[in-house]
Structure 1
Amino acid sequence: MSSPHLRLRPDALSQDVLASIVVFLVAVPLCVGIAVASGVPAELGLVTGIVGGLVAGAMPGSSLQVSGPAAGLTVLVYEAVTTHGVAALGILVLATGLLQVGLGLVGFGRWFRAISTAVVHGMLAGIGLVLISSQLYAMAGASAPGSGLDNLAGLPDLFTRVTGPAALSSTAIGVGTIAVLILWKRLPGRLPGVLPGPLVAVALAIAAVALFDLPVATIEVRGLIDSLRLTGLDDFGLLADLGLLGVVFAFTLIASAESLFSAAAVDRMHGGPRTQYNKELIAQGAGNTLCGLVGALPMTAVIVRSAANVQAGARTKASRILHGVWLLLFAALFPAALGLIPVAALAGILVHAGAKLIPVTTIRPLWREHRGEAVVLTATALAIILTDMFMGVLLGIGLAVVKTAWETSAVRLDVDEREDRVTVALSGSATFLRLPLILDTLEALPKDRPVELDLSRLRHLDHACRTALEAWTAHSAGAHASTDGGGPRGAALAAAATDGRRPPEPGR
């Protein structure tokens, strides 16, 4: 029996065909641009787009989101290719795909939704800044110094070196491409909705170079078959390198998180079937496994092409499968057309894409309403720029965990001073993170009256606090704990403080 998502009525089929053409027109310049920016042949970007359509697009998971090479992985792929060589790309992507399939099979897909949105936005902001800084050099026809920090530091010098016909022409093409992308959707009429901005920008750039005979670099065409490199069994030996394993984990984390967050966003755009996250993770893993076998770029679900698919009226997954068919036909029949595209135009497209990754409009309200989230976002982005993608994301996740632990360990101390005694009532969660506050409050109490600790309103009392409070009551004359707050540990502490016996260890 066929899948219910593929039972097409004639009107649905026509909508899917039209949507697939729109997505194909959006995908071509993005696939090629991401490949060039990643330091690999342009054809490999098309291969990943083809696999994203024909393989991931046909598998269950999400119905309307589109997969292919993503700008979010460009920086990491470039660093991997620069450090380990293009030959290592296949095994890195293959291992990523197998790991994704395994995670999906054990039901880990839904847990990617638990990643802090501040970390994700910080990751994308860091990627966007690094992508912009590297592609500004390509727009000017120059070579980037290397790391994200070096690229940013070298921008003032780059602006002073934009002289001569070649550099000025390349910069003009790049700036013009960005201007077209910004202004295209603001034009009146139906044309902006029919023709994608990236395609129009690239077409105008090609026309300008031909018309004015501009001395700018264009894409080097190698041919689809010549660009592929099959991954063999010998390549698995490369994974003995711990550095390469770190890259695999970074690929897996970022590609999976970006795909599943994209799926959640796309689900909000349409009223069709919701994403099955574990199946979508398996689909992404299958696509990356095949991409790795042929040495192509890693694949993720991409929000720009997915949004274009929904907005073009797609009804079923047939639209994303057909977009892969059109990419295959283009790569097979018109490969020479890639050689007409100016590198500066693709750099302009990626600068524009990088800027859209930076959540400029949300940072200020986030700072006002959720300052801790804003700190996590900013720290993640800065860490990616200063170190690398993997360390930046790990730092962001660590900060998010610490922030959550701090917020959930809130404890309140209510002090009631009377002539005959002082009562201190603790409520909330008493953890080691709040221990300085608790001890400072207790040590500042009057010494001339007995102190009673009321633990009845504690939701949680961890070992560090229990031990510290036990020691404090033992050394404070007249101090004792009352009630059984804080669970068994609170009861044990109360007993010890009252009659001098040491509380039993948990489990005894």
Structure 2
Amino acid sequence: MFSAFSPLGSPGVARQDILASLVVFLVALPLCVGVAVASGVPAELGLITGIVGGIVVGVMPGSALQVSGPAAGLTVLVFEAVREFGLGTLGAIVLATGVLQIALGLLRFGRWFRAISVAVVQGMLAGIGLVLILGQLYTMAGAEQPSSGLDKIAGLPGLAADIVDGGTILLSFCVGLGTIAVLVLWPKLPAAARAVPAPLAAVALATAGTLAGGADIATVQVQGLVDAVDLPGLDDLSALGGAAALGTVLAFTLIASAESLFSAAAVDRMHDGPRTHYDKELVAQGTGNAVCGVLGALPMTAVIVRSSANVRAGARTPLSRILHGVWLLLFAVALPGAIGVIPLAALAGVLVHAGCKLIPLGELAPLWREHRGELLVLAVTAVAIVTTNMFEGVLLGLLLAVVKSAWETSHVHVETRELTGGRVLVTLTGNATFLRLPRILETLEALPKDRPAELDLSAVRHLDHACRVALESWITRHNSDAEPDPARAAQPDPA
């Protein structure tokens, strides 16, 4: 790990890392608060997770430059967990998630997370993005969002009617739309203006506008960093014995680990420094989540937005991500009141924009042209998450990806050839599995019933049990019923 800090000995590296840490801090601040509010927990808990992600995970080996903290990708799952189990049990769930991640890292499972179908991960993020967008549209208008994805969709016409009626709801929604507009247009501004991160600029402008205009819209509720800490008790830990809680732990573990390790792979492509050690990174993420769980805070993942900002700002060592956690801690301690003037509609606008970026629109056309099966996996996963829940949607996507892979690798070719005596030689090549069994049997059963057959399986690379039993049953039944034609028996073998 200490080798990751060795570039600090070069002139100017420490200064560049300090500057990069300030950029990452400014990007992380509104996102930490926004993710917490959207998750239905106190805003300070998002800052605590960001602090732990910077200071605790930052000093651990794994990936030198990626930055961890609360992620929009877990917002929907956290919101559902808080609603079902309560805020206290959330800490126990996050703690169990961290312990499980540490165990998986020590058992060297980190590399295997890279084997998860990319289509499933993209579908998972797209589903999360859709649910996030649907939910935050209600928050932008200052309305209470329905619990399920289908209810959110069904309630949109009524929400639109309320917005058109005007009043405070229209004003709040316009603040959210203005925030989204700033986020979209900010990258098109001159470089000098873009030195300020877009999320910070959008939230700051929305806050300044509402304060100057005296707008009476909802703002973030502040209770203080220490008061927000909610250590899980024995009752909260005992709740982990239920099937629903264990399912949530598994969902947290799968999604947080996959998102972190996919982020690490993306960050590695952005710089020429040390590569990520995936097992160590999984242990680092687990340690961070265990600490967050003890503090009753939000779960964390590595976040590509903050990580890419860190690399683009010129960071060379883990010092930048550690310092970004320090700046978050100083802000939360010294200026907690500054959070309380931020309009909820502005944070909702930031998360609507983040939700849109989770949907891989640019990948849809290439997948349609070249890999329609992958597109089907992506779409089914996303729709399942919107219509059911996160855990069931991801499981359905993984199952569909496995079935698709098995189907594509089960290529088998059936060839028939006449031999002497009216016999027929049936040769199979490729992988004969139960998935291709209907096609194989259809070909075999089309052969003349009155001619004996022989099976040649020497060119079959894989023959599963179901296929073997079916073939043996067919050849026995077919030959017992067949009667050779004497006229054919007198003909020479074509071979």
Contact 1:423 1:453 in 2 (8 A): yes
Distance 1:79 1:127 in 2: 12
Distance 2:479 2:392 in 1: 50
Aligned-residue offset at 1:191: 2.3
The CA deviation string for residues 118-175 of structure 1, in whole angstroms up to 9 with x for no partner, is 1100000000000000000000111111111111221121111113331111111100
Distance 2:402 2:40 in 1: 35
Contact 1:34 1:70 in 2 (8 A): yes
SS of residue paired to 1:126: helix
Distance 1:462 1:282 in 2: 38
Distance 2:481 2:383 in 1: 49
Superposed, which structure 2 residues align to 1:29-178 within 5 Å?
Answer: 29-162=30-163, 163-178=165-180
- Does residue 2 of structure 2 align to residue 3 of structure 1? yes
- Does residue 21 of structure 2 align to residue 20 of structure 1? yes
SS of residue paired to 1:393: helix
- Farther-moved stretch of structure 1 (352-361 vs 448-457): 448-457
Q: Give 1:6's aligned amino acid.
A: F
Distance 1:275 1:203 in 2: 35
Q: Give 1:443's aligned amino acid.
A: E
Q: Give 1:469's aligned amino acid.
A: L
Aligned-residue offset at 1:452: 2.8
Distance 2:324 2:191 in 1: 25
- TM-score computed with the length of structure 1 as normaliser: 0.92
Corresponding residue number in structure 2 for 1:201: 202
Distance 1:382 1:164 in 2: 32
SS of residue paired to 1:164: coil
Distance 2:470 2:206 in 1: 70
Distance 1:308 1:468 in 2: 58
Aligned-residue offset at 1:109: 1.0
Distance 2:268 2:224 in 1: 37
SS of residue paired to 2:188: coil
SS of residue paired to 2:479: coil
Distance 1:469 1:189 in 2: 70
Distance 1:144 1:229 in 2: 25
Aligned-residue offset at 1:476: 1.6
Match of 1:179 among 181, 185, 206: 181
**Aligned-residue CA RMSD (Å):** 1.5
Aligned-residue offset at 1:364: 2.1
Distance 2:435 2:404 in 1: 11
SS of residue paired to 1:36: helix
Distance 1:244 1:443 in 2: 51
Contact 2:88 2:233 in 1 (8 A): no
Corresponding residue number in structure 2 for 1:245: 246
Aligned residue pairs total 478
Aligned-residue offset at 1:472: 1.2
Aligned-residue offset at 1:234: 4.4
Corresponding residue number in structure 1 for 2:356: 355
SS of residue paired to 1:215: coil
Superposed, which structure 2 residues align to 1:316-465 within 5 Å?
Answer: 316-417=317-418, 420-465=422-467
Aligned-residue offset at 1:11: 1.1
Aligned-residue offset at 1:242: 1.6
- Farther-moved stretch of structure 1 (208-217 vs 36-45): 208-217
Q: Give 1:38's aligned amino acid.
A: S
The unaligned stretches of length 5 or more in structure 2 are: 483-495
Distance 1:375 1:388 in 2: 18
The CA deviation string for residues 165-191 of structure 1, in whole angstroms up to 9 with x for no partner, is 311111111000000000100123332
Corresponding residue number in structure 1 for 2:487: none
Q: Give 2:3's aligned amino acid.
A: P
Contact 1:16 1:316 in 2 (8 A): yes
Q: Give 1:191's aligned amino acid.
A: A
Distance 2:99 2:481 in 1: 60
Corresponding residue number in structure 2 for 1:471: 473
Contact 2:427 2:457 in 1 (8 A): yes
Distance 1:26 1:479 in 2: 77
Corresponding residue number in structure 2 for 1:315: 316
SS of residue paired to 1:424: strand
The CA deviation string for residues 304-323 of structure 1, in whole angstroms up to 9 with x for no partner, is 10011011111011110010
* Identity in percent: 66
Contact 2:88 2:231 in 1 (8 A): no
Contact 2:454 2:475 in 1 (8 A): no
Contact 2:449 2:481 in 1 (8 A): no
Aligned-residue offset at 1:450: 3.2
Corresponding residue number in structure 1 for 2:485: none
Change beyond 3 A, Cα 1:338–1:431: same
Aligned-residue offset at 1:448: 4.2
Distance 1:378 1:20 in 2: 37
Distance 2:263 2:23 in 1: 19
- Farther-moved stretch of structure 1 (21-30 vs 455-464): 455-464
- Farther-moved stretch of structure 1 (469-478 vs 346-355): 469-478
Distance 1:234 1:155 in 2: 38
Contact 1:136 1:347 in 2 (8 A): yes
Change beyond 3 A, Cα 1:479–1:324: farther
Change beyond 3 A, Cα 1:479–1:363: farther
Q: Give 2:336's aligned amino acid.
A: P
